[in-house]
Structure 1
């Protein structure tokens, strides 16, 4: 009964803070702080195009902190090592099962480390590739071919993986796409405007899905 009461309180907290977003500050030595202009630019785009009211100031939160329940959407990125303690994994799992959403965007080089840490979060759930007809690819903007390719690294196709629970996508992992680079200020990577627009539109789909599910 006590656990149910705690979860109910956390659900109410997520509802009250439905349009707050943050960058996940994880351990292990990886550069969780990569792409510093990405989330503010995505928030601004969403506010202008899909009528959100997100604070564009970048906030950070640790996976083991109860403060993660203040945010409906967490964004995680980096190039290298990722590590969750048992306590952090439990807190993140409770957050996601209580209605939260985590988007992980491989900035190139975190895949081999990340996958083993996701097993800590959900040892009984499989990280599966999302089909091109998944609703997240057409939730507001249409991407009939699935996840767009933003930056080239290994000449591999972009892939979106997810973990779901009772039909709800609660964790999205974007790989070989590098959406976050496309969200950054234009002068950082000098991406063409049409590429940046694809990245921001796909990001808006993710944010809208997270807020409404």
Structure 2
């Protein structure tokens, strides 16, 4: 499976039709939140860093074999998250086979997602991603680390990760709300510079996922 996923990521022919997807999960949380986020991020990346991403974002269930068709999966929500044993095993296999998951707390997800991620990686701790990590270096520079997009609890933006054999396979962003910054401008009425900052950080995440 690892070899097959890497072929998808690296084959020049398939790069003409890269797809990214939103993760659908159980538990009652609004996995479908921020519907314009990924299409806008895809458009930004295609324009600014010359990717070729399908701007019609797919949806994939966490326990589905279709998960392995996407090099990058985005997960968001405000509430409860529940992974079955099959979900956890499928997601673990996906991530250790070259896939990448970005979990973005839309506010209210934190206490649920941390528990469920322990099912996926019982022996791997979430650790803070250092500001020296390459995900902050390009194509856009973020020397101070994760940007702050929306205020939640008056806490600094945080980036947590799970590393497997030195590779960041899962990025969990909290107290930043990147996905809100990717949405259509009229949804949250964020200033242009705030939205641009969110999109640039998103481009860095996608760039890392596609190339590592």
The verdict on a shared fold, with TM-score over 0.5 as the criterion, is yes
The residue that corresponds to 1:12 in the other structure is 7
Match of 1:146 in 2: 145
Query: What is aligned with 1:101?
Result: 100
Measure how far apart 1:166 and its partner are: 1.2
Give matches, 1:19-98, under 5 Å: 19-98=18-97
Contact kept in structure 2, 1:14 and 1:70, CA below 8 Å:
no
Q: Which runs of structure 1 show a deviation greater than 6 angstroms over 4 or more consecutive aligned residues? A: none
How many residues align? The count is: 208
Normalising by structure 2, report the TM-score: 0.95
1:113 maps to what in 2? 112
For residues 112 and 66 of structure 1, the distance between their equivalents in structure 2, rounded to whole angstroms, comes to 27
Q: Deviations over 1:93-145 (max 9, x none)?
A: 00000000000000000000000000000001010011111110112101111
Q: Distance in 2 between matches of 1:35 and 1:81?
A: 16
Distance 1:95 1:62 in 2: 12
Residues 5-44 of structure 1: per-residue CA shift (max 9 Å, x gap): x443344345455632000001100000000000000000
State whether residues 103 and 173 of structure 2, in contact with CA within 8 Å, keep that contact through their aligned partners in structure 1: yes
Measured in 2, the distance between the counterparts of 1:26 and 1:33 equals: 10
User: What is the DSSP-based 3-state SS (H/G/I as helix, E as strand, rest coil) of the residue aligned with 1:141?
Assistant: coil
Q: Is the 8 A contact 2:39 2:55 kept in 1?
A: yes
Which whole-Å deviations, capped at 9, do the CAs of 1:184-210 have from their partners, x for residues lacking one?
000000000000000000000000000
Once superposed, what is the RMSD of the aligned Cα atoms? 1.2
* Cα distance in 1 for residues equivalent to 2:196 and 2:8: 32
Question: What TM-score do you get using the length of structure 1 for normalisation?
Answer: 0.95
